[in-house]
Amino acid sequence: MKTYPYKLETHMHTVHNSDCAKLEPRRAAEVYAKRGYKGVICTNHFNRHDCGYLRKAYDAGEDADAIELYLRDFYELKRAGKELGLDVFCGAEISPDGTTYYKNSPPYREFLILGVTPEELKEGGEALLEKDQRGLFKWCDERGALLLQAHPFREICTPGDPRFLHGAEIANLHPLHNSKNKKAAAFVRENDLIGTGGSDFHFPLGIGGGVLLPRAPKDDKDLAALLKTRDFKVIKSRFRGKIV
């Protein structure tokens, strides 16, 4: 029987980048290592609001490079992970200007970018926020990265155009939101998309989701390639460890 020993978090946040998160990068790494995870993808929020939050958090000027500030927590998490035997991969939860929660009218959508390198995020910069979903999909696809919609049916969220998605979350396990995961799973099935799961981690009690891979990814690009095969298991419950 094939085994899937590599437990990976696909959706997590740290305190400096996301004003809704509670843990410093090192503490987050300790929590994940203690819970038996082999790797995490650092997917902090990236939108206009959080660019401003970053500049204030680091007491930087208005002209400070938001991506450079954004990556500080990733690098700190990666250093801590190296000490603890926890792999750390680069990613982002992006809300482009057209779908951000910080505007007055819908649509409201967030997207996970997985399989991206820090250098590629620097190259993309804040200009990524100006792209529509189709533009983001093209940008990711050209780099071998994945664009997945996070919690597409949660509360005020609506699903994006499936033609310009590699996948979507079918098991977002944030304990304080109803992400309507069954509807998300149906959306993924109907459109033949990649379905992933993640904790949407903001605080210690929110840990438990993710995916189980057959082996460790070699790097960010290999991680994307592994997910594209769809040969992985999705964790459906934070408490029972149920998989699908």
Amino acid residing at 161:
D
What is the pLDDT, as a whole number, of residue 73?
94
Burial (CB count within 10 angstroms: exposed 0-12, middle 13-18, buried 19+), residue 118: middle
Q: CA-to-CA distance for 117 and 242, rounded, in angstroms? A: 31
CATH number for position 10: 3.20.20.140
pTM over 0.75, yes/no: yes
The pLDDT of residue 159 is above 80 = yes
Backbone angles phi, psi at 14, to 5 degrees: -125, 165
- Has residue 81 been placed in a domain? yes
Mean pLDDT of the chain: 93
CB 154 within 8 A of CB 172: yes
- Has residue 135 been placed in a domain? yes
- Has residue 114 been placed in a domain? yes
Q: CA-to-CA distance for 175 and 203, rounded, in angstroms? A: 10
- Has residue 240 been placed in a domain? no
- Has residue 1 been placed in a domain? no
DSSP designation for 52: H
More confident residue, 42 or 58: 42
Rg from Cα positions in the chain: 16
Q: Which helix H or strand E contains 142, and what residues bound it?
A: helix 133-142
| Length of the chain in terms of residues written | 244
- The 10s digit of each residue's pLDDT in 228-238 is 999 999 999 87
pLDDT band at 191 (very low <50, low <70, confident <90, very high): very high
Q: CA-to-CA distance for 62 and 188, rounded, in angstroms? A: 40
Domain range for 163: 6-235
More confident residue, 134 or 20: 134
Q: Which helix H or strand E contains 40, and what residues bound it?
A: strand 39-42
What is the pLDDT, as a whole number, of residue 15?
84
The pairing of strands 87-94 and 45-46 is parallel
- Has residue 38 been placed in a domain? yes
Please count the structural domains in the chain: 1
What is the pLDDT, as a whole number, of residue 18?
67
What is the pLDDT, as a whole number, of residue 215?
98
Q: Which of 204, 216, 212, 201 is nearest to 234 (CA)?
A: 212
Q: Which residues pair with 89 in a beta bridge?
A: 41
- Has residue 51 been placed in a domain? yes
CB 124 within 8 A of CB 117: no
Read out DSSP for 81-137? HHHHT-EEEEEEEE--TTT-TTSSSS----EEEES--HHHHHHHGGGGGG--HHHHH
pLDDT band at 16 (very low <50, low <70, confident <90, very high): confident
CB 140 within 8 A of CB 121: no
- The 10s digit of each residue's pLDDT in 2-11 is 999 999 999 9
Any idea which of 14-18, 78-82, 204-208 has the lowest mean pLDDT? 14-18
Amino acid residing at 160:
G
* Start-to-end C-alpha separation, the chain: 16
Mean local confidence (pLDDT), 17-36: 88
- Has residue 40 been placed in a domain? yes
